[in-house]
A and B are shown apart, each in its own frame.
Chain A
Amino acid sequence: MDWQRLIVSYLAGFVLLTVLLGLMAYMTWFERRVLARMQHRVGPNRTGPFGLLQPIADGIKLLAKEDIVPANADRLVFLVAPLLSFALAPLGAAVIPFGDTLQLFGIEIPLLVADINVAVLYVLALGSVGVYGIILGGYASGNRYSLLGALRSTAQVISYELVLGLSLVGVFILSGSLSLQDILREQQRMLVLGPLTLPNWYILSQPLAFALFLIAAVAETNRAPFDLPEAETELVAGYLTEYSGFRFSFYFLAEYINMIVVSLLAATLFLGGIDGPFADGVWWLALKALFFLFFYVWLRATLPRFRYDQLMGLAWKVLLPLALLNIGLTGLVRLWGIGAL
């Protein structure tokens, strides 16, 4: 094993984690400001210019709060569950390519923390393990509302993860690879349709898969309108009810980091990632991811929460058959060589 590469990887991971945490803090600010605009309010504007210091004030407040463990709780599990959620969230970003290579001190540093050849499946696996943070937190709280929230979350995440995975199969069929780098390389080619020359982004050849992925990703990150696990109006915040102080903030951090990672993934899988006009680079990826993050906030401001049976019905009766249809169609197109990909 190559020690130098290992150390470079660790350092890159550390930098990425730091950047993600900073972004996450300002994502909360971004969400509150945009949401406020959409609801004809002002939003946080007192702490610093444009309320820019608000995330820091929030962080200090949460850290200073008392950490309460309910008497009825399964103590060890209750204490560990938020850490589990938080620890798994940023790992997904490790496989996102942020560029080609960077020359630094004579060492060639790939702008990618871990080059796994099943990168997309790795992200899906992280999502399926990430649900344990919510289930165990809900179970360990020793509270009926929390337990209900955890149960809902389990059923929801299992159902929507199926849709998420199946929606990506079309992309796998077209690119012939599970590696994000190969998928990206495939999208950097040009697609010539008569007089039009378009980038070969998969949003153009897989629009159905893109729509399914987007819907499933919102459900997978437990965001509105699919935020049933925490539905404050019926479950008094579900699995979060008994958490306070920094353990609560760990769940909060995990949710926002998950949103950022999913946005980066969506941008890489369907919008060509770092590919863009004028000059390829990480700024294009950031711009695309920002669009998805805005979309998340937009959804939250626009749509009311689903009813639970509607949520499950949507996954199993609408999205899943559509995903299977997409796989079948893509397979046929690939088999008959239409489009000469």
Chain B
Amino acid sequence: MSLEVAVFSLLALVSVLGALGVVLARNPVHSAIGLVLSFLNVAAIYLVARAEFLAVVQVIVYAGAIIVLVVFVTMLVHPDDLPEFHGRRSLRLVTGLVLGAALLAEVAAAVLARGVRGAPGPWTDEVVAAVGGNTRALGQVLYVDYTLGIQLTALLLLAATIAAIALARPEAISDRVAAARRVLTISLAHPRGLDQPELPLALPGTQDGRVKAAGGGRPIVLARSADEFTEQPAWGEWRGR
């Protein structure tokens, strides 16, 4: 038992140090590294508590996916380009301290009111062992007892993903489609079908969709998209119109 306490203390200490690093580091990438350190130690604490599945999911989701995205974005922004915080340093310090104290008081109140241990639920060690381990018990609860909730959450997340993609686009999809139809690619390449219909367009400086090139006999062909062309052929293969 003493070994477990020692291991837990070490993990908790490093985890808190990592969290401090997140707050104190000036470089955002260093902050993210601190956060990863903290998350990994929390995952190890889950392992000590024999919640292997939770530990692995913590690593895959938080350390492996979310913080990678954070690092991904912060790497692209040079630390010197970040906007300065508003207000004087003393003001920021006081605000931080007040908010931190309020949060701490809230957590303390919650812990004191409920008691650290809480009421024992139906999943005692014996029941979990009878089902066949933590992972199986968790699956049972999530996908049998709370199936509806899981499905609804999945739907909500899907809707949020689609909404995020739609919002991140520079313009609405219909506008993009219309814009894509308007794009004309000017290419010197060899047109795939030489018998393709001329463009029903009268552009300034063009005569029935063709432009005379300044030199050589190769015409500049206006096409609706680059896909209408094959790769540029060897010069000898050019037959012209």
Contact = CB atoms under 8 A, between A and B. Distances in A.
A115 to B, nearest CB: 11
Contacts of A151: 72, 75-76
Most chain A beta-carbon neighbours within 10 Å: one of B36, B52, B56, B71 = B56
A136 to B, nearest CB: 7
Nearest to A124: B60
Contacts of B52: 116-118, 122
A294 B206 CA distance: 59
Contacts of B134: 117
A178 interface: yes
Contacts of B57: 121
A150 interface: yes
Nearest to B36: A132
B75 A125 contact: no
A10 B4 CA distance: 17
B53 A118 contact: yes
B68 A125 contact: no
A1 B4 contact: yes
Contact of B59 (A125, A136, A155): A125
B38 to A, nearest CB: 13
Interface in A140-197: 147, 150-151, 154-155, 158, 161, 178
Nearest to B54: A118
Interface in B78-96: none
A196 to B, nearest CB: 32
Contact of B27 (A74, A155, A161, A178): A74
B55 to A, nearest CB: 8
A122 B59 CA distance: 9
A56 B60 CA distance: 36
Interface residues of A, number: 26
B1 to A, nearest CB: 8
B75 A147 contact: yes
Contacts of B221: none
A118 B135 contact: yes
Nearest to B134: A117
B135 A117 contact: yes
A129 B40 contact: yes
Contact of A135 (B4, B68, B135): B68
A122 B56 CA distance: 6
A139 interface: yes
Interface in B29-58: 29-30, 33, 36, 40, 52-53, 56-57
A3 B68 CA distance: 37
B33 A136 contact: yes
B209 interface: no
A91 to B, nearest CB: 12
A158 B60 contact: no
Interface residues of B, number: 25
Contacts of A124: 56, 60
B173 interface: no
Interface in A100-142: 116-118, 121-122, 124-125, 127-129, 131-132, 135-136, 139
Nearest to B133: A117
A125 B60 contact: yes
Interface string B172-189: 000000000000000000
A333 interface: no
Contacts of B56: 118, 121-122, 124-125
B71 A135 contact: yes
A154 B29 CA distance: 15
A132 B63 CA distance: 9
Nearest to B67: A132
A84 B123 CA distance: 38
Nearest to B71: A135
Interface of A: 1, 74, 77, 116-118, 121-122, 124-125, 127-129, 131-132, 135-136, 139, 147, 150-151, 154-155, 158, 161, 178
23 contacts: A77-B30, A117-B134, A118-B53, A121-B57, A121-B60, A122-B52, A122-B56, A124-B56, A125-B59, A125-B63, A128-B63, A128-B65, A131-B64, A132-B71, A135-B68, A136-B29, A139-B29, A139-B75, A147-B75, A150-B75, A151-B76, A154-B71, A158-B68
Closest 3 CB pairs of A and B: A128-B64, A125-B59, A121-B56
Given A128-B59, A151-B72, A178-B135, 18 more contacts: A1-B4, A74-B27, A77-B30, A117-B134, A118-B56, A121-B53, A121-B56, A121-B57, A128-B63, A128-B65, A129-B63, A129-B64, A132-B71, A135-B68, A136-B29, A151-B75, A154-B68, A158-B68
